[in-house]
Amino acid sequence: MPLEIDFELVRDAAGEVIGFQLISQPETYSEEFCAKFPRALTQKRAQIKSNAEENSLAFVLLDTDQRLEVSIEPADLAELRKNVLNPGAKLRFELAGHLTEGFKIIRM
């Protein structure tokens, strides 16, 4: 069953990409994915993979078969890789979504 999760970039006042958010639709597997992913990422049980050739991001929970792939504009992907996905980036996690599970990952 495909995950029903909305992906959105987070930008600063100047329009630079500084993060992203994932918010699940009211569907059990999608809500579970969004609830587990932030903690799993900090415990190295999840990965965010960028694919510049396909202009996509993949959010993968390694101990399950759950995977979310999203398409992203090439310029936005480059900014996200530079500002958020680089190994030295200092990030913070925030809750997102009010009625369903969701989270933001934002550069500090």
- Res 97: pLDDT: 75
Tally of domains within the chain:
1
pLDDT given for residue 9 in this prediction:
97
pTM to 2 decimals? 0.90
- Whole domain around residue 22: which residue ranges? 5-107
Tokens 């994932």 correspond to what residue? 22
- The model's pLDDT over 64-100, given as tens digits with 9 standing for 90+, comes to 889 999 999 999 999 999 999 998 899 999 988 777 8
Q: Compute the average pLDDT of residues 51-74.
A: 94
How far is it, in rounded angstroms, from Cα 30 to Cα 61?
12
Structural contact between residues 30 and 21, judged by C-beta atoms closer than 8 angstroms: no
pLDDT of residue 51: 94
